[in-house]
Each structure stands twice: as C-alpha cells, then as structure tokens.
Amino acid sequence: MRLPKVVKLVEMGPRDGLQNEPATISAAVKIALIEQLADAGLKAIEVGAFVSPRWVPQMADTAEVLAGLKKRPGLTYPVLVPNMKGFEAALAAQVEEIAIFGAASEAFSQRNINCSIAESLERFAPVAAAAKDKGIRVRGYISCVLGCPYEGNIPPRAVARVAAALFKLGCYEISLGDTIGVGTPGKAQAMSDAVAEHVPRERLAVHFHDTYGQALANIYACLERGIAVVDSSVAGLGGCPYAKGATGNVATEDVCYMLQGLGIATGVDLERLAAAGRFICQHLGKRPSSRVALVLAARATEAAAGK
C-alpha cells in the first residue's frame, strides 16, 4: 500500500502533554500555547479534559481555556470526557468535539478507570448518544494496544473488539494508543490490520509513545498500512507513568520532520511549531525531548547571536 499524500496531525500537548505536570500551568499560558500551535498550522488540538480536578488538577481550568481561545475556520478543539458529568460540563462550554477512552487490557481498565472494558463501554454509550443528539463529534481512544504494564502482550483481536465497539457507538475516528511504548513496526502493522477488519482504515489514527525509541518507525509502518492520522505532542511533552524516567508521547516536531522528508503534506510550519515547544518548555523549566526541536533551538540561538 502506498504512503498517504496528506497526514493529519492531532496535537495532544495541551492535554496529554500537560496533565501530569506537577507544577500548575496557568490558563493564560495554556491559551498562549494553543494559539501558537494553531498559528503553526495544526487543525486539531486537544485542549483539555472535563475530569475530576481531584484526580487531574492540571485540567481544572479547561472551561476557562476554551473560553479564551479564538474560533478559527477548520480548527477543532476536542476535549476528553470520562462520563456523563464530564459531557455535561463540555456541553456547557460549547465544545464541538469530545473524546472518550477505553483500553484493550482488562487489568489496565480496572486500574485506570476502575471498571471492566465492558463496563467502560456501557458508561460511554449514553455519552456518545447524547453527543450525537447535540451534533457533537466523538473520537475514541484505546489504550495499551501493543502492550500493558500489568498484562504484558495484548493480542490484536482484543484491540479489534474494543475498536469495533467504539465505532458502533458512533466514534468517527478511533485512535490506537501504544500507552507504554513497547510496540515495534511489525507488531504495529499486525495490530492495525486486525482492527482494519472491523473499522475502515480512513477512520483510524495512531498514538505512539516513544519509550523504547520506536515511535517514528511504528508511525511509518502504519502509514504503509494506509493510516493517515497521527497523534503527537509538541516538544514530546507527557512522560510515560509506567516507565520511570522514560519519554512519553512522540514529539510533533519529529513526526512533522519525518513526514516532510517523505514528501507528505501536513500543513504545519515546523519553525513555528518548534517555537511553540520552546515557549511551553520555558514555562515548565525543561528541555524539549524532541531531537528536531533541540536542533532548531540551537539554530535559533545562533541566528539571534549573529544579529
């Protein structure tokens, strides 16, 4: 199968990238980050989550963030919701898209959201129905598609079952997440092929963590299978909580650089994207984990010094 000519990048930094940061990031900084990402050309930016502030305090200001963003044609600001309470909060904030999340691992589902896979799908059914009634699009996430910190290897058929169930609920797109970053290209292709027997490839996205340095290779392998939507996080924000000290989300800068090298259009300005990454990393007091971002930062410093 040929590589796609165009790939859509779904930016996860403001939500998945920041949600576990210990230092509180103000709504103003989050808004500034999101606006910079939009200026860079990203058309889908997950901006927050309507979850319990007790469990995820970093997302407590999601409604404030949404209220402060500019509306732009063709740009979506999805938010994560875990249940009907979260959906009602999202509805009050006038969102146009939500995301629901399940797992391919029973053990992970129990430890992450305190219910079985079947129970999680039952919980999401009224959310998906209510969203459809209000004209709100629903995206679905599946965690642990290539491995689980508690169960180990996850069979592709298990991922396919959950994907088929989410698609039946009305999710317009299913994002396949390698939560602990243990996948390799062959396994990524086998998993995506199994899912594609139940969900059209044009309705699939991939979400790889770079824990073992395999994320770009896995993305390429799935591009070869016709998947043309990739989740990523600016500056590689978002560590892997199940592998201490390891990197988490694949960096948007690195994905963008690879796609540009392949002649695949993304509509993203890499220099502006890297600048957005530097902006948020300065507020976090850390360096980007993206190698591309580090090179571009060094060049920016040299250019400034030469003026």
Active site residues: 240
Owner of token pair 């991939």? 206
Count, residues in the chain: 307
Q: In the chain, which ranges are continuous DSSP H helix?
A: 27-39, 62-67, 84-92, 106-113, 117-133, 156-169, 185-196, 215-223, 252-261, 270-284, 291-305
Q: Which residue from 221, 215, 219, 220 is spatially nearest to 238, judged by alpha carbons?
A: 215
CA distance 217 to 219: 5
Angle at 93 between CA 233 and CA 127, to 5 degrees: 80
3-state secondary structure 127-189: HHHHHHHCCCEEEEEEECCCCECCCECCCHHHHHHHHHHHHHHCCCEEEEEECCCCCCHHHHH
Owner of token pair 């009634």? 133
